[in-house]
């Protein structure tokens, strides 16, 4: 089964999250800039003319499509790397994915998500070492 991880977190954490993901063998990903708010509904700022409300704050959204046996490790990696402990650190959503097709080759499913040296290839190499 294939899943999509959608992680929304602070822009200044993108570099740390990216490096942490590379270190566990996550290869394919995409990032967009988003603006939003969670349960506090934005922030109130004070200026010279008084206070004003900012409803939507900038965050990054990182998307990764991957096999479901890699989801927990990837979520934990993102959470640790993106966390400051303050409100507004973000959220991680996980969705089911019906199909993946690599346009160049027509490969589908797991084959379309396999990369040289990725998280699964590393596990296969580790298993071969044990046998």
Ligand X SMILES: Nc1ncnc2c1ncn2[C@@H]1O[C@H](COP(=O)(O)OP(=O)(O)OP(=O)(O)O)[C@@H](O)[C@H]1O
- Interface ranges with ligand X (CB under 6 A): 8, 34, 36-40, 57, 59, 87-91
Number of other residues whose CB lies within 10 A of the CB of residue 75? 16
- The residues near 39 (Cβ < 8 Å, ≥ 6 apart) are none
The answer to whether residues 97 and 2 touch, using CB atoms and an 8 Å cutoff, is yes
Residue 36, binding choice from Mg ion, ligand X, none, Cβ under 5 to 8 Å by partner class: ligand X
Kind plus residue range of the DSSP H or E element containing 71:
helix 71-82
Q: Which is nearer to ligand X, 7 or 112 (CB)?
A: 7
Q: Which is nearer to Mg ion, 22 or 56 (CB)?
A: 56
The answer to whether residues 56 and 10 touch, using CB atoms and an 8 Å cutoff, is no
Cα separation, 108 vs 130, in Å, equals 30
| Residue 126 beta carbon to ligand X: minimum distance, rounded to whole angstroms | 35
Q: Which of 25, 38, 42, 109 binds Mg ion (CB under 5 A)?
A: 38
Q: Does residue number 40 form part of the binding site for Mg ion (CB under 5 A)? A: yes
Q: Does residue number 42 form part of the binding site for Mg ion (CB under 5 A)? A: no
| Residue 75 beta carbon to ligand X: minimum distance, rounded to whole angstroms | 15
Q: In the complex, which residues of this chain contact Mg ion (CB under 5 A)? A: 38, 40, 87-88
């Amino acid at each position: 089964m294939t899943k999509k991880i959608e992680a929304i977190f602070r822009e200044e954490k993108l570099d740390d999250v990216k490096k942490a993901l590379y270190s566990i063998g996550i290869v394919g990903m995409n990032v967009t800039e988003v603006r939003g708010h969670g349960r506090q509904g934005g922030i109130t700022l004070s200026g010279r003319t008084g206070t004003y409300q900012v409803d939507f704050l900038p965050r990054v959204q990182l998307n990764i499509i991957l096999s479901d046996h890699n989801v927990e490790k990837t979520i934990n990696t993102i959470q640790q790397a993106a966390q400051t402990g303050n409100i507004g650190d973000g959220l991680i959503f996980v969705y089911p994915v019906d199909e993946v097709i690599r346009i160049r080759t027509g490969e589908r499913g797991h084959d379309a998500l396999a990369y040289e040296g990725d998280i699964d290839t590393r596990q296969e190499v580790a298993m071969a070492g044990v046998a």
